[in-house]
Amino acid sequence: MSSVLHESPYQESWRWMSRQIRCGLAPDEPRLIEHYLAEGRYLACCTSTSSWTIALTSFRLLLDTATDTALPWHWRSMCLDHAWRPLRDLETQALCGCRLKRWQRCAWQLATCELEPSISLIELMQGFHDE
């Protein structure tokens, strides 16, 4: 008999929002990022999910999305503009040497992040129309 990991509705919602952000499914809905970060704060305070894990996951999601050239430029810029928020949360929780080093690496990644231009829609198309 196998055990199944069941997430709370809030965790499921948070994960669904993370997929929407990472895949750029709603690039014209900037409130999605705000809602995602707020849901993460709720999970950190009202569930057993570690606030360090929430902040680190949120930071990585936003930075990875920002550097994904297959996504629209304005969405990537928005994600980059919000990445400082979970980074700030990481800083307040960096109470030991290993976490402080991790925070410093994240801060360096954000400080040195340069966005490449997004790939045009024409370049995203695969194959040829006559295939």
From first CA to last CA, the distance across the chain in angstroms is 48
Q: List, for residues 87-113, the tens digit of each pLDDT value.
A: 999 999 999 999 999 999 999 999 999
Rounded CA gap, 27 and 46, in Å? Answer: 29
Q: Which residue range forms the structural domain that includes residue 102?
A: 9-114
With a cut of 80, say whether residue 131 has pLDDT above it: no
Assign 128 a pLDDT band (cuts: 50, 70, 90): low
Task: Write down the pTM of the prediction.
Answer: 0.85
Helix (H) or strand (E) holding 8: none
Could you give the 3-state DSSP secondary structure of residue 131? coil
- Return the CA Rg of the chain: 17
Average pLDDT over residues 112-129: 74
Whether residue 35 is contained in a domain is answered as: yes
Whether residue 53 is contained in a domain is answered as: yes
| Joined tokens for residue 85 | 């928020």
Whether residue 103 is contained in a domain is answered as: yes
Q: List, for residues 47-80, the tens digit of each pLDDT value.
A: 888 999 999 999 999 999 999 999 999 999 999 9
Whether residue 130 is contained in a domain is answered as: no
Nearest to 55 by CA among 87, 31, 84, 21: 87
Whether residue 127 is contained in a domain is answered as: no
Q: List, for residues 3-38, the tens digit of each pLDDT value.
A: 445 668 889 999 999 999 999 999 999 999 999 999
Q: Identify the pLDDT of residue 112.
A: 96
Whether residue 120 is contained in a domain is answered as: no
Nearest to 106 by CA among 117, 130, 128, 90: 90
Stronger pLDDT, 117 or 1, i.e. the higher one: 117
With a cut of 50, say whether residue 1 has pLDDT above it: no
Whether residue 61 is contained in a domain is answered as: yes
Whether residue 19 is contained in a domain is answered as: yes
Rounded CA gap, 84 and 106, in Å? Answer: 10
CA distances (Å), origin 103, targets 21, 29, 66, 111: 22, 29, 19, 12
How many domains does the chain fold into? 1
Helix 97-111 / helix 51-66 crossing angle, nearest 10 deg: 20
With a cut of 70, say whether residue 2 has pLDDT above it: no
